[in-house]
Homo-oligomer: A and B are copies of this chain.
Amino acid sequence: MLNLPANFETYAEARKSGFMKMKEIKDNGGRIVGVYCSFVPQELLMAAGAAAAPLCASSDEPIPAAETKLPRNLCPLIKASYGFALTDTCPYFYFSDFIVGETTCDGKRKMFELMNELKETYVMQLPHSRDDAALRSWTEEVIRLKEKLEDFYHITITEEDIRDAIRLKNHERRAMLGFLELGKLNPAPISGYEMGTRLDGLGFNFNLEERIAIIEERTKEVLTDWETNYKGKASDRPRLLITGCPNSGVRDKIIKTVEELGADVVAFDCCNGTREKVEPVDENMPIYDALAKKYLNINCSVMSPNNSRMQYIDEMIDEYQVDGVIEIILQACHTYNIESHYVKQTVTNKGKSYLMIETDYSQADKGQIRTRLEAFLETLEK
């Protein structure tokens, strides 16, 4: 059964309590930049003394408003994000000084044109390949963002500012990764639902040192609990890897449900999982080259080809002793949807079960998803 600690803070609570922190930042003359994607090098924002407000929306609520301007058959994350902006119902968007978008996918790229009418939206040109030309052009983009921040805030960002930010962000990555790697323990020491919720929730704590302390503390707590109460006690619950699109908006109807049905979600290959965290920024390289190299290596399906994601999933299946893989596809996300062909191949080649769920933020398919998850778990009976 899904076992959440008594003091467990939900994502909604974390998001809500973040509002006050954000208001405090603004009241003290602080800087806030809205971001939508892991590809935006947060080290530059940190070096500019700006908090990064995570704006990827996970609520169904503002979608009808968004659909007055955007097509219906577009990814719910994009529609919800634009919908919050359009209806001015997201304090994070409201408090952001400007927005940094990126050309990850067609939908976001074109949505940012409309968003720019509501608030200045600066778009980073993300290449979709990983050769030398792409790296050169992405390095230029990284430098351009630094210059944009300098222009916007009338400041000078020094190399030392960036180096400090790189070190701190790398520390945060290690801490988050340490928490996520608890999933490697067998039996599973913590629910996957809690893992995802905590990490997403911490995105609304704009003090990185505090963020690190909280997650390191929780990691230690879980580990002690496991050593004392679970170590050496075999579990027959199947162990699952979640992969695919951002899952915050469908976490309850998929991840919570599958854990309630008797499985353990132990691993996450997604943007709120290990994907961005496995590779730190190289602290010994020239800073812009190091940032460009790190961020271009994020295994998002927008990269073509994206073989390293397949290799990573292959390794995760072994390291986390995974029995089955659930791929979450947000509706109309072409890149993940097409790439799922290779994910399925990778998973089944290892003799593991694979389930792809294409869904959106509505509750319409909740029952159907539950039924499919039940059927999937039956194929995994150990």
Contact = CB atoms under 8 A, between A and B. Distances in A.
Interface centre among A71, A107, A112, A133 (most CB of B within 10 A): A71
Interface in A318-341: 331-332, 334-335, 337-341
Interface in A253-308: 301-302, 304-305
A110 interface: yes
A134 interface: yes
Contacts of A331: 73
Interface stretch (A45-53, A85-93, A120-128, A149-157): A120-128
Contacts of A304: 103, 109-110, 112-113, 123
Contacts of A334: 71, 74, 105-107, 110, 332, 334
A114 interface: yes
A334 B134 CA distance: 24
Interface string A127-147: 111000110010011000000
Contact of A109 (B73, B125, B128, B340): B128
A176 B128 CA distance: 34
A357 to B, nearest CB: 13
B337 A74 contact: yes
Nearest to A136: B137
Given A106-B105, A334-B107, A69 B341 contact: yes
Given A105-B334, A112-B304, 19 more contacts: A70-B338, A71-B337, A71-B340, A71-B358, A103-B128, A103-B304, A106-B302, A106-B334, A109-B128, A109-B335, A113-B305, A113-B342, A123-B129, A123-B304, A125-B127, A125-B129, A133-B137, A133-B141, A137-B137
